[in-house]
Chain A
């Protein structure tokens, strides 16, 4: 069954674009707003997935789903070993897991592919070490905080991507240490004067 989501529309004026504009090598004006545009369509646009409903348990002694006992078990969860019906079976990254394991895996950060938010501790440490230099006397408080923060998050995951986090942490530690040294020297000078 076709759905309106399968229509390709001009992002500017929402006019439905015809097939004659598809896959052209050059930009063609939109029939309505005349903005030059180009679009490509892939088979996923026409894919309609219809999953078979899970079978009901018919015979005595037949294994049922852990979550829906009246539904016939089709597969075993790769993480917790519970029996799952077709409805509860989630195929993720080549493995079959139940929704609960998937949710707890995401929460605990065990499934890396599901993690999509990170705090960039390395940037934060560097900001904390260098930012207050504009109002120098603030560094008396921020330098130790930056130093502790960088040391505390040295091994924390900081990004979805390979980053040079250690370099930023090192720079933050260096800057914070220099500031602390400066303040120490200043206080020693005041004390001995």
Chain B
């Protein structure tokens, strides 16, 4: 071990970058005059990138929504499993062993949720030099990233000197003038590299139409349950899943309103939850009817035989599902209508009417 080796100090945090085939684990190490990002791929291939303090031009930190999304998913799973445990315990009067398994599963999700809550909000940290802009995957928690940036700032300033905010403003203005770009003003963001495309797809309209169809099929199922209705509902559910995936792809890096983008994610989560609930119902029905063979077909038949108006919990579930689907459809169509109206107003130069 050389003296040079010994000078590295490990910075807290560990991150991963993953592609379809491989996963790379990243850690950050601090040396006297540089920052070293060590990447370990396939468990045994190590590579490093050095960022010398004298070359670092900028550090950019952006808060991301991953923390909220993970909390939402884990919270839904934990809550759903705990509710299911309570319902199952009530139904079997504590004689079955299934509720223990569900409770353990719920507890595991709850524990992961707690860890995520304690770790705090997520972020992404970018480091810019004259020739590259790299994300530092080990700095994906806001609290930790700010602490480490606070530690790095004096070291970089020691290597390069300091620059005052007034000087930065003057230099930025000069750069924009030399590049013949207007100065960015609030409300009129300036993009040098335009990655935001205008939204032109009809996928969101199709998604909301499928949600409306889902609500109608569910209402139909309440009044006339049959194998045909169940099959239609299943096909529509699959179409909805496909539509959500396509809508998520189509909305990426477009000028579609953030509320609409979030709504698509919301629809996706709602579909996942309904799928999970459906799966649990299927499992319990197949287990109780003991139809090991043709489980899917047996489930469809058992579901068709179930009269919603005579089964209160099933009726509640269907009414809730229909209401949510209809609500999402109406909300989505309203937002989409507003988006197109605003775009048309911008195109014709006519301002949209003020909100009352």
Contacts and interface: CB of A to CB of B under 8 A. Distances in A.
Contacts of A118: 45-47
Interface in B1-56: 1-2, 4-6, 8, 29, 36, 38, 40, 43-50, 54-56
Given A7-B175, A27-B63, A159-B46, A44 B193 contact: no
B57 A15 contact: no
A1 interface: yes
A148 to B, nearest CB: 17
A33 B131 CA distance: 25
Contacts of A27: 61, 63
Interface in B43-87: 43-50, 54-64
Interface stretch (B183-191, B263-271, B277-285): B183-191
A150 to B, nearest CB: 13
A45 B160 CA distance: 10
Contact of B190 (A15, A37, A117, A162): A15
B126 A11 contact: yes
B348 interface: no
B153 interface: yes
A7 B1 CA distance: 42
B168 to A, nearest CB: 5
A47 B128 CA distance: 14
A6 interface: yes
Contact of B1 (A14, A15, A45, A162): A162
Of the candidates A8, A33, A43, A47, the one having the most CB atoms from chain B within 10 angstroms of its own CB is: A43
Contacts of B196: 13-14, 32
Contacts of B38: 160-161
Nearest to B29: A161
A5 interface: yes
B61 A22 contact: no
B331 to A, nearest CB: 20
Contact of A17 (B56, B171, B184): B184
Contact of B129 (A32, A41, A44): A44
Given A44-B56, A46-B163, A12 B62 contact: yes
A2 B60 contact: no
A186 B57 CA distance: 64
B195 interface: yes
A41 B162 CA distance: 9
Nearest to B46: A118
A112 B193 contact: no
B316 interface: no
A8 B184 contact: no
B142 to A, nearest CB: 8
Contacts of A36: 62-63
Interface in B170-207: 171-176, 178-179, 181, 183-184, 186-187, 189-196
A118 to B, nearest CB: 5
B194 A14 contact: yes
B57 A18 contact: no
Interface string B91-119: 00000000000000000000000000000
Interface string B246-289: 00000000000010000000000000000000000000000000
Contacts of B50: 113, 116
Contacts of A13: 189, 191, 195-196
B342 interface: no
B157 interface: yes
A112 B4 contact: yes
Given A11-B124, A14-B194, A19-B173, A45 B62 contact: no
Of the candidates B44, B48, B187, the one having the most CB atoms from chain A within 10 angstroms of its own CB is: B44
Contacts of A39: 58-61
A123 interface: yes
A161 B131 CA distance: 25
A146 B188 CA distance: 63
A44 B57 contact: yes
Interface of B: 1-2, 4-6, 8, 29, 36, 38, 40, 43-50, 54-64, 124, 126, 128-131, 133, 135, 146, 149, 153, 156-157, 160-163, 165, 168-169, 171-176, 178-179, 181, 183-184, 186-187, 189-196, 258
Given A38-B61, A39-B59, 17 more contacts: A15-B191, A16-B184, A16-B189, A19-B173, A22-B165, A22-B169, A23-B165, A30-B62, A31-B189, A32-B189, A37-B61, A39-B60, A41-B58, A42-B58, A116-B47, A120-B46, A161-B38
13 contacts: A1-B178, A2-B174, A8-B60, A11-B60, A13-B195, A14-B193, A19-B168, A22-B168, A31-B189, A37-B61, A118-B47, A121-B44, A160-B48
